[in-house]
Structure 1
Amino acid sequence: MRTLLAFLVGTSLLTAPAMAQSAWTGGDDQPANPLACDASVTAVPPGDYNGGEPTGAPDRKGKPLKVVDIPKLVGVGYFNSTAAGIQEAAKELGSMTVTTDGPTKANIDEQITFIDNYITSGVDGILFAANDPVAIAPVLKRALEAGINVVGYDADAEADARQWFVNQAEPNGVAKSMIDQLASEIGEEGSFAIVTSTFTTPNQARWITEMAAYAEKCHPKIKFLETVEAQEDNILSFNQAQTLINKYGDELKGILGMTSVATPAASEAVQQQNLCGKVSVVGLALPNAMKPYINNDCIKSTILWSTVDLGYAAGMAMRAVADGTLKPGDTTFKAGRLGDLQVVNQSQILLGAPKVFTKADINNFDF
């Protein structure tokens, strides 16, 4: 199937604007909802709750909670910072202990094994960021069937496999920010490639689909070259970026980094190839990881949300779900120091719009 998609993308480049093709390697097969070209990011009304419910859960209101946090992988800056936010929430609440554990690579089979083991050992709640929305669903449903509260963040599962999902940004909002920033740096007819984690990583696949639709609508002459997988691995991300640079030469004007690992790795590749100012890197990354490249004027920007706030909101949501104060039908959620967050897409809590960090303000942030 991937081979067919790649063929369709490649052949369409010969006959039409590259972003206009229906086949989009690295995206999902769900419909897109691109924002208006001049519109600010807006949220979708919540609609009817479509999340799952734990079976026979004990009364946990106000009682101590034992929670495990299982992100896509451990040991990288992005999930270190979400874990820090979760611990901040736990400390503030004073009634929840959280252990962060998981695979050292973004491997769905290993992630499933970790979740299964914690179901067996016994916890009150599971926080997760999925490596694959479909593959992770059965084990999360087993957790719900065991009476465990389940809340996702960063990358969702199938809705009925968890209760709530803390969404860092609406996919069409991420798409608009990424493509608008890319176009501002490489021009309306520039060519670019994408470095993603895997073609099955749910949040990145959704963002890529929305980017294709938004670019077709608002930047129709911008040219897509290729999407490559890098597994959220620093060395592989660097090597993939170098391969793209060598493969496309002067045609390559920009690289979109879809992960907090790929974006600084691609920036390092651009810097080592002495292509600062010639190849732009626009992507999602922690400000601290991008400061060296932005402060030395090699890279102009990076895009993200507060990953600490994302983890904090997820921790707060877990406590509220266990207490019964976050329930189906709610349209807002009181998330501690973050105030009221909007409920969207039936069972998601929206953190907010993504932010573009530049040399003008990136040093004001420390995460």
Structure 2
Amino acid sequence: MTTMWRPIALFAGLALLASACGGTTRDDVAQQASASAAAPASSAAADPNAPLKAGLKIAFLPKQVNNPYFTIADAGGIEAAKEFGGEGKEVGPSEASASSQVSYINTLIQQKQDAIVISANDPNAVVPALKQAKDAGIKVVSYDSDTAPEGRDLFVNQASAEDLGRTEVQLLAEQIGHKGKIAILSATPNATNQNTWIEFMKDELTKPEYKDMELVKVAYGNDEDQKSFTETQGLLRAYPDLAGIISPTTVGIAAAARYLSDSKFKGKVKLTGLGTPNQLRKFVKDGTIDGFELWSPGDLGYLACYAAAALASGQITGAEGDTFKAGKLGEYTVGAKGEVLLGKPTVFTKDNIDDFDF
């Protein structure tokens, strides 16, 4: 996450707390190590004064449907499409496996969508199909979880990958007094955003102030509620002296909170990560969670939709320095590697969580 920051509507005026999701979404190391090449150059010149085309068809392809995080994000994108007279829709698999999105991409090509907005389950598995989409004149924007650069025109990133990874460690460290064994409950093993955040978490843990903290396990719940619940249970059986868990996935943190809230570990094992206020409010209020963080998922989808429309309308090509307007969020600039950064995340605690409704 590196680019120009613009205030997020829901978060305007809020200060970024030290642990905001900033550590990894692709903007710095490993995550974009897998996707760090520059975005493909376009032969057409950008025309920032071009109007958005009428009737654009923009399809959102999340990692999986019926995931609360993507439901909110894609609703934001569909709202944006309505604002500029386009047509937005959400399609996708019910399970977040590496190749599960490919058949949907092929169908969207047949439907002659103007743009596909995708959160990749695997950075490489979707690339051949996305290349076919691009060859057919369809613009491709990745959001939340990037594809390899050759698979997309732009990547709309939620917050700095480095900030996200490092701040989640910082937040948990404060909660456990910088001492004890910790674990990470991630989504799928191949999720580019999760893996990049985790690399920054590991790097943060090498600093002297964390010398008394030990990462003992990275577990994977595959963004499935029951598996994440079971993985949490397994972590605590294997490490009954665990001090804390970081779960950088909305499905994972909710499942882990549910397990902890009804166990002897409630209040003893600290839990943080990425979640939505409505999803985790009760766990914050009952003491299961002291604090967690997130950006506005609705704004992420909203921005991705406007970025897709700007590409499809010729306002931008995806080159570094291109600028476009994203409705209520204001103006954005395309950064290095074809990345557009939404902005800073916020930490939610019992003191502020009732100020948010998403």
Task: Give TM-score, length-normalised by structure 2.
Answer: 0.85
- CA deviations on 1:149-174 (whole Å, 9 max, x unpaired) are 11110000011211111000111010
**TM-aligned CA distance change 1:109 to 1:49, over 3 Å:** closer
Q: Which has the higher contact order (CA 8 A, sep 6+)?
A: 2
Q: In the alignment, is the contact (CA less than 8 A) between 2:273 and 2:292 conserved in 1? A: yes
Question: Does the residue aligned with 1:109 lie in a helix, a strand or coil?
Answer: coil
Structure 1, unaligned stretches of length 5 or more? 1-26, 34-46
Identity of matched residues, %: 35
Measure, in 2, the Cα distance between the counterparts of 1:304 and 1:61. Answer: 30
Misfit runs of 4+, over 4 Å: 52-55
**Residue equivalent to 1:354:** 345
- Give 2:132's aligned residue: 142
Once the 2 structures are TM-superposed, how far is the Cα of residue 79 of structure 1 from its aligned partner?
0.5
Report whether the alignment pairs 1:78 with 2:69.
yes
Q: What's 1:244 paired with? A: 235
Pairing 1:169–2:159 present: yes
Name the CA distance, whole Å, in 2 between partners of 1:79 and 1:32. 25
Q: Which residue of 2 aligns with 1:23?
A: none
Cα distance in structure 2, aligned partners of 1:131 and 1:215: 27
Structure 2 residue 303 is the aligned partner of structure 1 residue 316: no
2:290 aligned to which of 280, 286, 300? 300
1:90-115 superposed Cα distances (whole Å, 9 cap, x missing partner): 12112x10110000110222211111
SS at match of 1:165: strand
- Following the alignment from structure 2 to structure 1, what is the Cα–Cα distance between the partners of residues 334 and 176? 35
Partner of 1:269 in structure 2? 259
2:54 and 2:332 map into 1 onto residues whose CA distance is: 24
Distance 1:276 1:208, change over 3 A: same
Q: What letter is aligned with 2:352?
A: D
Does the 8 Å contact 2:290/2:349 carry over to 1?
Answer: yes
Deviation of 1:145 after TM superposition, in Å, equals 0.7
Offset at residue 340 of structure 1 (A) = 2.6
Other-structure match for 2:8:
none
Alignment partner, residue 184 of structure 2: 194
Q: Which residue of 2 aligns with 1:11?
A: none
User: 1-side partners of 2:51 and 2:329: how far apart?
Assistant: 24
Q: Secondary structure at the match of 1:231?
A: coil
Three-state SS of the structure 2 residue aligned to 1:216 is coil
Distance 2:268 2:52 in 1: 57
TM-score computed with the length of structure 1 as normaliser: 0.83
What is the Cα deviation at residue 260 of structure 1?
0.5
Residue equivalent to 2:249: 259
Q: CA deviation at 1:342?
A: 4.3
- Contact 1:127 1:151 survives alignment (8 Å): yes
Residue-by-residue CA offset, 1:44-63 (whole Å, 9 max, x unaligned): xxx995236599xxx99523
Q: Distance in 2 between matches of 1:112 and 1:218?
A: 44
Give the alignment's Cα RMSD to 1 decimal: 2.4
SS of 1:99's equivalent in the other structure is strand
2:110 to 96, 107, 120: 120
- Structure 1's 79 and 364: CA in aligned 2 closer, same or farther, altered over 3 A? same
Distance 1:143 1:173, change over 3 A: same
CA contact (8 A) 1:54 1:144 kept: no
Find the counterpart in structure 2 of residue 50 from structure 1. 39
One-letter amino acid of the counterpart of residue 121, structure 1: Q
Q: Alpha-carbon deviation of 1:76?
A: 1.2
1:208 aligns with 2:198: yes
Query: Residues 297 and 149 from structure 1, CA distance in 2 versus in 1: closer, same or farther, beyond 3 angstroms?
Result: same
Quick one: distance in 2 between partners of 1:268 and 1:145? 45
Shift of 1:135: 1.2
Matched residue SS, 1:126: strand
